[in-house]
Amino acid sequence: MHIHILGICGTFMGGIAALAKAEGHQVTGCDANVYPPMSTQLEAQGIALIEGFDPAQTALNPDVYVIGNVVSRGNPLMEEILNRGLPYISGPQWLAENVLQGRWVLAVAGTHGKTTTSSMLAWILEYAGLAPGFLIGGVPENFGVSARLPGVPKQDAQSQSPFFVIEADEYDTAFFDKRSKFVHYRPRTAVLNNLEFDHADIFADLAAIETQFHHLVRTVPQNGLVIINGAEASLGRVIDKGCWTPVEKFGGEPANQYAAIQNQVNQSGDWQTSNEADDGSFDVILQGKTMGRLTWKLFGQHNRMNALASMAAARHVGVTVEVAIEALSQFDNVKRRMEVRGEVNGITVYDDFAHHPTAITTTVAGLRGKVGKARILAVLEPRSNTMKLGVMKNALPASLKDADLVFCYGANLGWDAAEALAPIAAKASVYDDLSQMVAAITKEAQSGDHVLVMSNGGFGGVHQKLLAALQVKFQAELTLG
């Protein structure tokens, strides 16, 4: 089969392209922004890429066009496809019919933590020898790729692994299918990490998102498992709408199946009076029994919850909690999740995908727990559709409370970032010029600081610009003696 993918350079659609190629299909694609690293990754796999959406691409005569949700009416190639009555399908539906069908799908949904939890789960299954396939909206460091087909498990060298881990997004499927992507996946194991209002561009309110999550729950079979965060009232409402599948809970009440007991520094939670840092370790409790202590590279309460969710899902396919703990002790996180991009003169620069106020809160708090009283310089780009609409702008000051200084890039917003950050004006500054912001951060930064950059986009390459500017500053200081 020859498939031509519209919007191929997104992480999800690029993952579909890689899976389709691995399945033996001929794959071509186009996008408005064909550039590295996705372009080079796809070209390395022999996937031909075309810049733009010229209607002349129909001369390729593929068997079907796979449409990403970046494509809307008015797109010239899409209009040509519609006018000529050519066959087309959404990315999630193509994936469901051609890759997921007949496999044991483990889907990870939630407003936050989908990518990290999916990566943890895939790694646990890999460590246990189950050779899962996966499609994840990021690049897990343990694998180096965002998608692959199932391999051959160590326990059965005669057959392909049945397991497939997928990051299950609640965003809509395509311009012609306004259901959430995840309703196509038909998981046997479904993780609902958390649920709060997001995607204000397509959802009217939280209740509308809860309805979509309920539609996902409706697809899980009776012999499957739904795993939910027991501390989330919204997920409780989702289950109360109707559930025909066993439910396990993590976090929340001590009576829930899975719990995490933090170390003493974490329990005190008082970084202001302690120079001790959170080493990230915690005891894993299953039905009241301590199963072991996880010591790993990650930190923060949100990652403890992600770990519990991944352990619960892995246990459903037969991996013990003890083995899951061993696996996560060797988990290397995901690119752009508190990823250290460099260090100059004792100043560490991080890259993180956080863009929703809740994610910003947990990311900053997690770093605070790690670094103790050291200064955190938070650098924020409110870039998501929800943030650009200003729906959550009033939540930003509270989300940044654990940062010592805040630098916000306010260009291209439909609201006044300085006004929104007025409650923390003493430590916050807003810039419409990226170079000016880099200069201000560089001037302020001093040895021992942690510069936390948060954006769901490329942020104009600010990380490398900061590191380069800090290096120039450091060399100048050395020269001056």
Write out pLDDT tens, residues 153-162: 877 767 889 9
> Would residue 225 count as lying in a domain?
yes
pLDDT band at 199 (very low <50, low <70, confident <90, very high): low
Domain end position, chosen among 66, 91, 116: 91
Cα 251 from Cα 260, distance rounded (Å): 7
Distance of CA 302 to the CA centre of its chain: 13
**What CATH number does the domain containing 38 carry?**
3.40.50.720
Least confident of 194-198, 396-400, 425-429, 453-457: 194-198
Asked, for residue 80, whether it belongs to a domain, the answer is yes
Tokens of 403: 């940062």
Token pair of 320, please? 């013990």
| 62 and 110 share one domain | no
In this structure, the answer to whether residues 316 and 351 fall within a common structural domain is no
Q: Which residue has the tokens 């129909």?
A: 58
Residue 171 has pLDDT above 80, yes or no: yes
Spatial CA neighbour of 65 closest among 35, 38, 93: 93
pLDDT of residue 279: 67
Question: Domain for residue 305, yes or no?
Answer: yes
Identify the pLDDT of residue 462: 87
Plot region of 201 (φ>0 → left; ψ -120 to 50 → alpha; else → beta): alpha
Which of residues 333 and 111 earns the better pLDDT score? 111
> Final residue of a domain: which of 91, 116, 142?
91
DSSP 63: S
pLDDT at 447 over 80: yes
Averaged pLDDT for residues 185-206: 84
Q: How confident is the model at residue 35 (pLDDT cuts 50, 70, 90)?
A: low
d(CA 446, CA 195): 38
Q: Answer whether residue 270 shows pLDDT above 70.
A: no
In a domain, 371, yes or no: yes
* pLDDT value for 352: 87
pLDDT at 417: 85
Spatial CA neighbour of 440 closest among 420, 403, 415, 465: 465
Residues 147, 230 share a domain: yes
Res. 265: pLDDT tops 50: no
Residue 16 falls within a domain, yes or no?
yes
Same domain, residue pair 183 and 229: yes
What's the CA gap between 342 and 139, in Å, rounded?
19
Q: At residue 407, does pLDDT exceed 70?
A: yes
Residue type, 412: N
Q: Is the pLDDT of residue 80 over 60?
A: yes
Percent of residues in the chain assigned helix, strand, coil, to nearest 5: 40, 20, 40
CB-based contact 193:305 (threshold 8 Å):
yes
Domain that holds residue 149: 102-328
How far, in Å, CA of 32 to CA of 8, rounded? 9
Residue 255's pLDDT band, with cuts at 50, 70 and 90, is low
**Do 381 and 468 fall within a single domain?**
yes
Domain count, the chain: 3
Tokens of 328: 């996560």
Q: How far apart are the first and last CA of the chain?
A: 66
Instruction: Specify whether 307 is located in the same domain as 189.
Output: yes
Q: Are residues 59 and 165 in the same domain?
A: no
Q: What strands lie across the sheet with 26-31, from one edge to the other?
A: 48-51, 26-31, 2-6, 64-67, 88-90
State the pLDDT at residue 413. 81
Same domain, 81 and 216: no
Label the pairing between strands 289-294 and 177-180.
unpaired
Sign of the Cα torsion 110, 116, 118, 120 reads: negative
> What is the tens place of the pLDDT at every residue in 359-383?
888 788 888 888 888 999 999 988 7
**Confidence band (pLDDT; 50, 70, 90) for 200?**
low
Check which CATH number belongs to the domain holding 377 and give it: 3.90.190.20
| Pairing of β 339-344 and β 172-174 | unpaired
- pLDDT average, residue stretch 204-230: 92
| Collapsed DSSP state (helix, strand, coil) of residue 197 | coil
Q: Is residue 46 classed as helix, strand or coil in its secondary structure?
A: coil
Give mean pLDDT, residues 54-67.
97
Residues 288 and 366 in one domain: no
Task: Say how far apart CA 182 and CA 308 lie, in whole Å.
Answer: 21
248, 290: one domain = yes
Residues 197 and 293 in one domain: yes
Q: What is the CATH number of the domain that holds 222?
A: 3.40.1190.10
Report the length, in residues, of the chain. 481
Question: Average pLDDT of the chain?
Answer: 87
Q: What's the pLDDT at 155?
A: 72
Query: What mean pLDDT is predicted for residues 208-220?
Result: 93
Look at residue 72 and tell me whether its pLDDT is greater than 90.
Answer: yes
Give the helix ranges, DSSP H, for 178-232.
206-218
How many of the other CB atoms lie within 10 Å of CB of 200?
Answer: 17
Q: Name the residue with higher pLDDT: 112 or 174.
A: 174
Answer for the pair 358, 399: CB distance below 8 angstroms, yes or no: yes
Of 91, 126, 158, the domain-final residue: 91
In the predicted structure, residue 271 carries a pLDDT above the cut 60: no
Q: What is the pTM of this model?
A: 0.79
* 334 inside domain: no
* Residues 239, 178 share a domain: yes
Give CA separation, 280 vs 54, 157, 247, in Å. 50, 37, 28
316 — pLDDT class (breaks 50, 70, 90): very high
Give yes or no for residue 208 having a pLDDT over 60: yes
Q: What are phi and psi of 305, to 5 degrees?
A: -65, -40
235 close to 194: Cβ distance less than 8 angstroms: yes
Instruction: Give the integer Cα–Cα distance in Å for 87 and 65.
Output: 6
pLDDT tens-digit series, residues 98-142: 999 999 999 999 888 889 999 999 999 999 999 999 999 888 888
- Using the structure block, give the residue that is written with the tokens 């089969």: 1
Q: In this model, does residue 274 exceed pLDDT 80?
A: no
What is the band of 268 on the pLDDT scale with cuts at 50, 70, 90? very low
**Three-state DSSP state, 42:** helix
Q: What is the pLDDT of residue 222?
A: 96
Give the least confident one: 1-15, 47-61, 333-347.
Answer: 333-347
